[in-house]
Structure 1
Amino acid sequence: MARPLLACGVSEQVEVRSGTVLAARREDVAFDTADGLTLVGELAVPVDREPVATLVTLHPLPTHGGFMDSHVLRKAANRLPALADLAVLRFNTRGTSSPRGASEGEYDGGVAERYDVAAAVAFATGRGLPHPWLVGWSFGTELALKYGLAEDVEGAILLSPPLHRTSESELARWHGSGRPLVALVPELDDFLRPAEARERFAVVPEAELIAVDGAKHLWVGEPQVRRALDEIVRVVNPAASPLPTTVPAALVVD
């Protein structure tokens, strides 16, 4: 069955480009952590229907430029509510700033950030958003792996997992958990490449490890972004995969 937003009767098609922003309901949000901090973010949902699943995104390392607007996460929010019927929650972890604003507190190396993960998931479930998945990128994958099993999430999708902060025992806890774990490992990653990733993830034999040819840690270039978003959608809402590369012009808002 055709998805309503794409079957809108508009004949002119335009290419989805790097800067394309598609129609969604977007809302600035804030929520509090258990240790008393307020974090800021944005929620994007489909315009005219309920989402079928939810991405709770966890950004790269804030001490190296990571924040809620890191480009793959921003493009997920720009596109996936319209193209895949997904809700996308982005937020700044403690001590992180973006044009949306600054989250309170200070970066804690992935320790106190456990409260940030919990608060984001609680916000999503409190809003009644369905089937939350953690989507982490780089540092965000460490937060997903270390703390995701304590939360009410369907599973986790990892972009460029470095496995710097995640211990073998923390990773092994995912084995037998019943939570899907999908890792996208760039062929040319700066920190963890596919061969080593296969060894490290062997403690979770049911994990799906995807080696992405030609990709780098930062997923630079539109083809690599499309691949990352396609893989996310394939896992979370297979009915919407593969994502289209053109859309009706009426869907484009910027």
Structure 2
Amino acid sequence: MTFDPVSYEFSQPTGPAPIRASTVLPARRENIELRTEDGHTLVGELALPESGQITATLITLHPLPTHGGFMDSHVYRKASYRLPALAGVAVLRFNTRGTESPRGTSAGSFEEGIGERQDVEAAVRFAVERQLPNRWLVGWSFGTELALMYGAVEPVASQVEGAVLLSPPLHRATDAHLRLWADSAKPLTVLVPEHDDYLQPAAAAERFSLVPQARVVGVDGAKHLWVGEKYASRVLNEIVDDVTEAGSGPEGLPQVWNGPVATSAA
């Protein structure tokens, strides 16, 4: 059975409530479908602010599906739960080809990051057609490879402002792709966990030195999967700081919410 985000049941607490891992804040959420140029239908979800201006749009690219990555990988799930309400940010999540989640299964099969180029293009095209403003790619692990390989070339390059990378392994993305980002002059923020399994901060700084505009941030104590509310919150703050004019504020995004909330089963 396909999960429908309108099934969240919101209630009004008696006072300000702490924002926990499973807290869902109000947003306009809808299940969406993306169609690729090679004929695949990809499933996803779009979360928009309930009201007011959209400050930025995140087009999220999830971790490796053959190792458990999907549109509901926890940082992206929390982004969709919180950022529309806390920062006016639209969050587009989707399953790349052949990937399954509670939302459903995208058509096709995993293609080692090659066929997935068309998945990235379909997501960006959808955001453009919906007139979602200030579009940014946000890649995590395998998703960083897709962002690096395809974000600085057309048709994507002219449709996005830049990218934020979480735990880049730099397995598929090469120095040639980094040079394309350098040539594009588009902003690139690279969040690297201190204890990453694949690429740690010092090595990341060396590799990304090919991109003069890249901002490489080592995060003390963090691991590749950003497990723990402390690290998930740090990632969301860094993203909002990069993609919005107002940023997350001097103390980061609010950690309590005074309004209707729902609780996710995940």
* TM norm. shorter chain > 0.5: yes
User: Is 2:46 the partner of 1:39?
Assistant: no
Tell me the equivalent position of 1:15: 18
Tell me the equivalent position of 2:226: 219
Query: Counterparts of 1:93 and 1:176 in 2: how far apart (Å)?
Result: 27
Query: Counterparts of 1:64 and 1:156 in 2: how far apart (Å)?
Result: 23
Query: Counterparts of 1:67 and 1:206 in 2: how far apart (Å)?
Result: 29
Query: Counterparts of 2:65 and 2:192 in 1: how far apart (Å)?
Result: 21
Tell me the equivalent position of 1:252: 261
Query: Counterparts of 2:161 and 2:224 in 1: how far apart (Å)?
Result: 25
Q: Deviations over 1:3-59 (max 9, x none)?
A: xxxxxxx98211111111100000000020011100000000001223111000000
Kindly state the Cα deviation for residue 240 of structure 1 after the two structures are TM-superposed: 4.0
Tell me the equivalent position of 1:3: none
Q: Secondary structure at the match of 2:184?
A: coil
Query: Counterparts of 1:14 and 1:143 in 2: how far apart (Å)?
Result: 37
Tell me the equivalent position of 1:4: none
Query: Counterparts of 2:218 and 2:105 in 1: how far apart (Å)?
Result: 35
**Unaligned 5+ runs, structure 1:** 1-9
User: Is 2:60 the partner of 1:57?
Assistant: yes
Tell me the equivalent position of 2:106: 103
Q: Is the 8 A contact 1:83 1:240 kept in 2?
A: no
Q: Secondary structure at the match of 1:104?
A: coil
User: Is 2:247 the partner of 1:235?
Assistant: no
Q: Is the 8 A contact 2:98 2:108 kept in 1?
A: yes
TM-score when normalising by structure 2? 0.90
Tell me the equivalent position of 1:93: 96
Query: Counterparts of 1:88 and 1:251 in 2: how far apart (Å)?
Result: 20
The one-letter code of the counterpart of 1:162 is P
Tell me the equivalent position of 1:79: 82
Kindly state the Cα deviation for residue 178 of structure 1 after the two structures are TM-superposed: 2.4
Percent identity, please: 60
CA RMSD of aligned residues (A): 1.2
The one-letter code of the counterpart of 1:167 is T
Off by >2 Å, runs of 4+ in structure 1: none
- Number of residue equivalences: 244
**Unaligned 5+ runs, structure 2:** 1-12
Query: Counterparts of 1:251 and 1:60 in 2: how far apart (Å)?
Result: 31
